[in-house]
Each structure stands twice: as structure tokens, then as C-alpha cells.
Amino acid sequence: MTALQKISTDIWSMKYQFKDARGEPVDATVEETWDRVARTLADVEGDRAPYWARQFREALDDFRFLPAGRIVSGAGTGRNVTLFNCFVMGTIPDSLAGIFDMLKEAALTMQQGGGIGYDFSTIRPQGTLVAGVCADASGPLTFMDVWDAMCRTIMSAGTRRGAMMGVMRDHHPDILSFIDAKKDRTRLRMFNLSVLVSDALIEAVDADEDWPLHFNDTVHETIRARDLWNAIMEATYEYAEPGVIFIDRVNQLNNLSWLENIAATNPCGEQPLPPYGACLLGSLNLSRFVENPFSDTARLDIESMTACVATAVRMMDNVIDASHFPLEQQRAEARNKRRLGLGITGLGDALIMCGIRYGSEEAVRTVDHWLSRFTNEAYRTSALLAKEKGAFPLYDEDFYLEAPMVEALDREVFSLILAHGIRNSHLTSIAPTGTISLYANNTSGGIEPVFGYTFKRKVLQNDGSHVEEEIQDYAYMLFREKFGAGTELPDYFVTAEELRPDEHVAMQAAAQKWIDSSISKTINLPEDISFDDFKDVYRLAYDMGCKGCTTYRPNDNTGSVLSKTEGKPKSAPATEDGSCDVAHRPEELPGQTYKLRWPHSEHAIYVTINDIVEEREDAEGEIVQTRRPFEIFINSKNMEHYAWTVGLTRMISAVFRRGGDVEFVAEELQAVFDPQGGAFIDGRYAPSLLAVIGGVIERHLNAIRDGMEPVSIQSADRQKEASKATIEEITFRIREALCPKCHQPALVKLEGCNTCTSCGYSKCS
């Protein structure tokens, strides 16, 4: 096994190494982690457990098979966590009680570490009359805000970063608001968003027809179909969301189309699932099956790969019986259908090691060949498992054998299913595999191309110093080890930003042919691509047979996932990890004051954020200005607030003065939950006063990013002019708070008591 890069061992230590309640390691090495996982999943085999523990352990060796992170971190630890990655929750009822029942189920699922997906199309549109209460509905987006706040709260309790997918049907009356939701960068931060695009919309766009927006058969508005499609593309171009899910195709190609209707996916889109659907993930690392890399005889060892597929299918099937489930409905769904999501990772590296350029016609043919063998072996193994252990409980031969994927299998595999049934309703899915691929010595993720060959990061040491590390792509590292640092990279070394959109889509489509669920792939595009060259990407994905599509174009709105520093500010030199030395405070600073009124406090709270204006040299050698937060002051006449406002002022100001990316401050504050109840602010739910302060910081960061782009220095007085900027006071409008008993937004202050005008609940200060 090639020596691990330090980032891989760091990932293992942070995420996958089993440690006891005191933080002491139980797994001393990566190999002991593999032993734990193999032994635990083999226990399902009864008397044959020792044999299968050896087989499972061999599959895990050298990162050949990568079970998803939930499995690696949770199996054999005795913790009450789910080993499943993907859940789609139950259908949301169009009633307040039903909506909050679904919110509770979501919280329980996320608490155990599951990512969730929801179709919010079932909630009536904004402005619709709510019978019996003489009020207008607030619409699905406001309830998505509540989900978003819940996710932040769960994050604050110490679990991993929340992940949710929110989808909406293309005919919902609020679809345009949904499409534009991410234009407010403070909103729905915990969600990925996708539009459920129907075949009917595509046909209406082609025919330039009108498109009715309707709910429960009532048409609310009619718009031009092309206007709707253009709105999707324009939002995606500027904000990288929403993605699209071609929902009719998803249901038509579903192996269980006769049994279930799918309306949502897991957070990354690779698992379209029915209500309460659950699926686990795992990936074969193709880069570990390449023989004689970078030579004329380089090839993928198909025999070794398919042998590992067979072991992985059994191993993942055992996870279903070994896992906890947050909800009983999820357990029943998983065990009745026994869905698996076995996929691949390291495709980009494997192609490079075989001398094949990603996106080329040869690459498309190669992916088709590799994945046809991969999928046929997965189905063959599942049929033999059915012979040994029984088919999935809801298996029906008359319907299942007519599924398009099943009909496309080799005749020998089809005959095995005909004879024995099949253990798992679905077998294949391709996840993004971001963290586990980094853990596997920085192998390229999923079916993506390589993003870059080398990166540098600075790691904080225990003594406060920093050590610089270089991170290398796995294939690039092997190439350099074999040919030396001075050798020019061959043409088949290609990165994501060097590919045309159609090359990205062609690779996704080639893989989708052999994937019975779906694929998480992001079409990464250069910032300078024109809208005309971009606007047909989703349509191309539809025409080529994909089940969905997402894009990412780095710009001022989306930021950049991977970037390098062009220059350093003169007043506060940046370190390699993005932080900077504490800058000297000028006598005058520009700033803004925000006035907050919180329903649980008698006095207003004032938040003042002052900024520092710095100069740096850009790539062209021109001196430009940038502006960033330098200090914060939180003031209130309420003496009960004194201690925490002073403490918060000092801590946040210290973070601001160090520089670097400070958005995490806003995110952490917005995740804080107040057990006394939150409040609705400008129509959006805030779980606590601290969350509101976090929202102010986020709003301020966005304002200075939008309102003061780097500009050329025109005079020596610019700094002084900036320091005299007018202080702007912004007052938030506070609506009624949420009642802790009936959950209606109807809690008001009456004679010193918090009183609910809906159910009569009252609590006096």
C-alpha cells in the first residue's frame, strides 16, 4: 500500500477512528478500524462469521472498498447511530400539526446522523386561505426556514454538519420563489435545492406553450414555460442552485415503479427514494484496480474488480441487518426492499493511470465497459444471495423482471434472477464520496475528474505553530514517484475546469446507463463561461438520458471551492491558511449599527460592526481595497444581558481581528436554540436571540461583500473617506413568537406575560 498522506490520517483520526467517551483511541491504526468494521458486519453471517470477516477485511485493504462514512465511523462502536446515509422523509401533510410532526421526524433522523430529503410541494402556496382560522397560508418556503433552523440546532448539539435536500414540483404556484430562494445568501443554508422537472415541462418549453401553476387542481397563475425554464437556468448560473431532477424519468426507470412513487432524493441526489426510503452507500475505488499504470499495458483488472463487487454486495446487505434506524418506518422500508447504493470512486484517477483523457470518446466507451461488468456482477451476486438467504420481501417476479435495468442485464444474470429472485431491489448508485476519497489517499471523488493535482495547507500544531503540507492527487503522486518532478504531464492529465460542459454530461450519461438509482455529479465550469454557452447544460443532460443535473460556476455569489491567494494585504499579511496577524486599529473605522427588538426582552439590543479597509496588490500589480469586519459591540440596557453581551463582544472581536474566513461565526450563532422559544423575524423563524445576532453578522458580511468590491485606489484620502461612512441603523420587524405548546406563531406580550392568542398558553416573566 502506498504511504498515506497526512491529510488521510487526519481525516481518519477526526471522523472514523473509534474513540471512547473520554476521547481515548480504541482503534490504534487504520487497519484496526478495518478490522472492527469487517468483524461487525460479518457477525450477521452466524457460523460463517470468521470466514466472511476475512473476506470483508481483504476487500477493505488498501482502500479498495470504501463503505460510506456512517458505516466506518459507527459499525462496532455500540453507539445508537444509523449506518445509513440516505433518507427521504414521509410525505408532508398540508396541515400545521402534520408539518410539525414531520419536523420532529426530521430532527430525530438527523440526530442519528442521517441526511434527509423532502418534497415541499405538498404544502399549500403562499396567500392561500387557511380554512377555519381566517388566515392566509405562509407557503412552503417559510416552513423550509423552520427546517433550516432545526438543522442548525441539531448541528449545535455536536453532530456532523447537517445535510438536507428540498425539492419542489415545476407546477407549484410558489416555484419561482423557490428558484430564487438562494439569491438571499442568508437563507436555506442547510438545504440543497432542486426542481422536479417533468417531461410535460420540457415539451411545453419546446412548443413555447403557457404553463399553469396549480395546487390541488386549482390553477393560481399561468406563465410562459420558457420563462420558467430560463428562471431556473439564470439562478443556476449565478447561484449554482437549483439543480434539476427529471422526475418522470426517475419513476419510469425505477426497478419498483409498480410498487412506489418517488418524489424526492437524498441530499446529494444520487438516491431517489420513496417516502421513508432508506439507502446505504459504499464505493469501489477503481484507482486500486489498475495494473501497470502509466504504461502501454495499463488496464483495469476486471476480474479483481468484480470479485470485490461480490464481496461488497454481501457486506452492504449485512449492514441492513446490523444498523439502527431513527424511525420504525425507515426500518420497515429498508428491510422490505433491501436497497443498496454500491458505486465507484477514483474514476478520474483510474482513467489517468490508464492513459485515457476524461471526457473523450474513449473515456465514454471505457466507462460503459467498466460499469457494465460492475453492475452485472452486483446483480449476479444479489441473485445468488437470494438463493442463499431469500429475496427481498416485496419481490414480485411478474413486475420486477420487466424493469428496464433488469432487462438490460446479461442473459446469464437475468436467468439467475428468474430462478432465485433477487436479494436487493436496487444495487447501484454513485455518491460524491468527497471525504472518504480524501481519506483514501486523496483519490478523485465519485465519477468526477480530478479537480487539481497539488494543494497546500497549513496545519496548526499543539504548540501554536503551523506546519505546511502539500496534498497531492493520488494518480499525480504515483506519476511523480515513477517519472520524477521534472517530467511534463501527458495530455491525458486533465482537470475539471478544462472540460467542456458536453464532456461532463457525456461521462454522467455513460455511467447512468448502468446505475439503477442515480448519480451525484457536479458539472464544474469556469467562471468566465458565458450564459449562452451555459444555458443548455440541463437540457443536454435531459437529452442524453441523465436523471438529474447540478452545476457549479465560481463567482462572487458562489465563492470558489478551490482557490489560491492572488496577493496579500499590506496592512495585515495573510498566512497560508487564510488567517492574518492581528492588525493595528486605525483611529476611525467605517461601520453600521443594527437595532434589534426581541419579544422576550424589554429593551432593544444594538449591534455595531466596524470594518477595516485594507490595501493589497492584485494579480495585475494594481493596488486595490478590500473591507472586512474588525470588531463588534453588543449593547443592551437589560442588565441580565450584560455578562454574555460583553463576553460575546470580546470573543467575536478577537476572531474578527485575526482575519480569514469568519462566516463560521455567523453559522455557529444561528445554530443556537433557546428553550424559551424563538421568534419570527421578517417572516422567518429564528431559534434564539443569539441566532438573530448571527443573522446580523451574516447580513453585514454580505453587505460589505456586495457593496464594496475591490476598487482601484484613486487618492490617498480614500481610507479617511471610508472611515467617515454614515452609520446606518436597521431595525428588524419582530412578528409574534412561536408558541411552545401549539407551535402557532401567535405568542405575544400581554401585561408582562407571554400569551398565545391561539391556544391560550401563558407564561409570566
Alpha helices in 323-394 (DSSP H): 328-337, 347-353, 361-389
Map 89-107 to HEC letters.
CCCCCCCHHHHHHHHHHHH
Residue owning grid cell 445509513: 84
Contact call for residues 195 and 167 (beta carbons, < 8 A): yes
Report which residue type is found at 669: L
**Residue 200 within a domain:** yes
Contact call for residues 268 and 281 (beta carbons, < 8 A): no
Q: What is the mean pLDDT of the chain?
A: 85
**Alpha-carbon distance values, 436 to 12, 333, 432 (Å):** 9, 27, 9
- For the cut 70, the answer to whether the pLDDT of residue 709 exceeds it is no
What pLDDT is attached to residue 744? Answer: 52
Active-site residue, selected from the candidate residues 266, 285, 442, 524: 266
Check whether residue 476 and residue 410 sit in a common domain. Answer: yes
DSSP sequence for 519-546: B--EEE--TT--HHHHTTHHHHHHHTT-
Contact call for residues 343 and 515 (beta carbons, < 8 A): yes
Q: pLDDT (tens digit, 9 = 90+) per residue, 28-40?
A: 999 999 999 999 9
What pLDDT is attached to residue 150? Answer: 87
Contact call for residues 102 and 90 (beta carbons, < 8 A): yes
Check whether residue 223 and residue 163 sit in a common domain. Answer: yes
Check whether residue 421 and residue 475 sit in a common domain. Answer: yes
- For the cut 70, the answer to whether the pLDDT of residue 149 exceeds it is yes
The whole-model pTM stands at: 0.77
- For the cut 90, the answer to whether the pLDDT of residue 460 exceeds it is no
Active-site residue, selected from the candidate residues 270, 377, 503, 631: 270
130: β partners: 135
Contact call for residues 126 and 174 (beta carbons, < 8 A): yes
From 464, 497, 521, the end of a domain falls on 521
Alpha carbon distance, N-terminus to C-terminus of the chain: 65
Q: Could you confirm whether 241 is annotated as catalytic?
A: no
- For the cut 50, the answer to whether the pLDDT of residue 719 exceeds it is no
Domain extent for 606: 591-734
Check whether residue 675 and residue 707 sit in a common domain. Answer: yes
What pLDDT is attached to residue 165? Answer: 95
Q: pLDDT (tens digit, 9 = 90+) per residue, 349-371?
A: 999 999 999 999 999 999 999 99
From 484, 502, 521, the end of a domain falls on 521
Show Cβ contacts of residue 34 under 8 Å, excluding neighbours closer than 6 positions: 57, 60, 61
Lowest mean pLDDT among 229-238, 321-330, 486-495, 616-625: 616-625
**Residue 206 within a domain:** yes
For the chain, state the CA radius of gyration: 27
Check whether residue 409 and residue 327 sit in a common domain. Answer: yes
Q: What is the mean pLDDT of residues 215-227?
A: 96
CA-closest candidate to residue 708, choices 694, 717, 721, 693: 721
Active-site residue, selected from the candidate residues 85, 192, 255, 268: 268
Check whether residue 504 and residue 622 sit in a common domain. Answer: no
Q: pLDDT (tens digit, 9 = 90+) per residue, 238-276?
A: 999 999 999 999 999 999 999 999 999 999 999 999 999
**Residue 563 within a domain:** no
From 463, 496, 521, the end of a domain falls on 521
Show Cβ contacts of residue 684 under 8 Å, excluding neighbours closer than 6 positions: 142, 145, 187
Check whether residue 143 and residue 283 sit in a common domain. Answer: no
Q: What is the mean pLDDT of residues 121-150?
A: 89
Specify the DSSP class assigned to residue 295.
Answer: S
More confident residue, 317 or 560: 317
Q: Are strands 290-291 and 65-67 parallel, antiparallel or unpaired?
A: unpaired
Produce one character per residue of 620-631: b if its CB has 16 or more CB atoms within 10 Å, e if not: eeeebbbbbbbb
- For the cut 60, the answer to whether the pLDDT of residue 583 exceeds it is no
Q: What is the mean pLDDT of residues 413-436?
A: 96
CA dist 190 and 241 (Å) reads 13
CA-closest candidate to residue 671, choices 638, 693, 639: 693
Calculate what percentage of the chain has a pLDDT beyond 90: 58
The dihedral through the CA atoms of 191, 143, 742, 329 has a sign that is negative
**Which band of pLDDT confidence, cut at 50, 70 and 90, is reported for residue 618?**
low
CA dist 560 and 669 (Å) reads 24
Check whether residue 59 and residue 136 sit in a common domain. Answer: no
- For the cut 90, the answer to whether the pLDDT of residue 85 exceeds it is no
280: β partners: 340
- For the cut 70, the answer to whether the pLDDT of residue 16 exceeds it is yes
Dihedral pair phi/psi, residue 124, rounded to 5°: -60, 150
Check whether residue 465 and residue 599 sit in a common domain. Answer: no
- For the cut 50, the answer to whether the pLDDT of residue 717 exceeds it is no
More confident residue, 446 or 563: 446
Check whether residue 340 and residue 205 sit in a common domain. Answer: no
Q: What is the mean pLDDT of residues 47-51?
A: 96
CA dist 636 and 245 (Å) reads 48
**Residue 385 within a domain:** yes
**Residue 742 within a domain:** no
**Which band of pLDDT confidence, cut at 50, 70 and 90, is reported for residue 512?**
very high
CA dist 556 and 457 (Å) reads 23
Q: What is the mean pLDDT of residues 152-156?
A: 69
Q: Are strands 753-756 and 747-750 parallel, antiparallel or unpaired?
A: antiparallel
Helix (H/G/I), strand (E/B), else coil: 283: strand
CA atoms within 13 A on the CB side of 619: 3
Specify the DSSP class assigned to residue 59.
Answer: H
**Residue 33 within a domain:** yes
Produce one character per residue of 746-762: b if its CB has 16 or more CB atoms within 10 Å, e if not: bbeeeeeebbbebeebe
**Residue 550 within a domain:** no
Check whether residue 289 and residue 433 sit in a common domain. Answer: yes
Calculate what percentage of the chain has a pLDDT beyond 70: 83
What pLDDT is attached to residue 562? Answer: 45
Lowest mean pLDDT among 31-40, 300-309, 501-510, 645-654: 645-654
712: β partners: 624
Lowest mean pLDDT among 180-194, 492-506, 646-660: 646-660
What pLDDT is attached to residue 469? Answer: 73
Check whether residue 113 and residue 24 sit in a common domain. Answer: no
Q: What is the mean pLDDT of residues 578-585?
A: 50
CA dist 560 and 552 (Å) reads 9
Cβ atoms within 10 Å, residue 438 = 18
- For the cut 70, the answer to whether the pLDDT of residue 735 exceeds it is no
Q: Which grid coordinates belong to 284?
A: 469501489
H or E, element range at 4: none
- For the cut 70, the answer to whether the pLDDT of residue 701 exceeds it is yes
CA dist 522 and 546 (Å) reads 12
Dihedral pair phi/psi, residue 161, rounded to 5°: -55, 135
- Range among 47-61, 517-531, 545-559, 665-679 with highest mean pLDDT value: 47-61
What pLDDT is attached to residue 563? Answer: 41
**Which band of pLDDT confidence, cut at 50, 70 and 90, is reported for residue 715?**
very low
CATH number of the domain that residue 30 is part of: 3.20.70.20
CA-closest candidate to residue 407, choices 394, 393, 418: 418
Q: Could you confirm whether 638 is annotated as catalytic?
A: no
Q: Could you confirm whether 702 is annotated as catalytic?
A: no
Q: Are strands 548-552 and 522-524 parallel, antiparallel or unpaired?
A: parallel
Q: How many distinct structural domains can be found in the chain?
A: 3
What pLDDT is attached to residue 528? Answer: 87
**Residue 760 within a domain:** no
Specify the DSSP class assigned to residue 277.
Answer: -
What pLDDT is attached to residue 706? Answer: 67
Q: What is the mean pLDDT of residues 196-210?
A: 98
Helix (H/G/I), strand (E/B), else coil: 507: helix
